[in-house]
Amino acid sequence: MRPGMKQQDLAVASGFWPLLRFNPVLRATGQNPFRLDSPRPAIPLEDYAYNEIRYSGLAQSDPAEARVLFNTAQREVAAKYREYEALSELDGVDFHSKVNSAPSKRLP
């Protein structure tokens, strides 16, 4: 496997880059248009991130700060995956009511 492809695989396996689909056509049939294709994260975020100089450099220059940031990032990745997983498990009616009632996160 080429290095870039291996890094992409690690990003998905760590949960940093979840694979998902959204098909708005399914709304017309009352189905959930959101599909989560990624399995649950199987490796720590660090296994992906430390292969990139921008992250490994931080770990070398300030290990304590890197640990704090990676712990926070790991929690965020896990929380985001749980959110996606919950959305993908809703039926079409529940999905639409949940999404329509959620406060908008768009910038003004």
User: Alpha-carbon distance 32 to 70, whole Å?
Assistant: 33
Where do the DSSP E strands lie in 1-108? 20-22, 34-36
Give 47's pLDDT tier (boundaries 50, 70, 90): very high
Predicted structure pTM score: 0.80
Give 108's pLDDT tier (boundaries 50, 70, 90): very low
Say how many Å lie between the first and final Cα of the chain, rounded: 43
pLDDT of residue 106: 52
Triad 16, 92, 37: Cα angle to 5°: 25
Q: What is the pLDDT of residues 49-98, one digit of tens each?
A: 999 998 899 999 999 999 999 999 999 999 999 999 999 998 877 776 77
Give burial (CB, 10 Å; 0-12/13-18/19+) of 10.
buried
Tokens representing residue 59 in the block: 């770990």
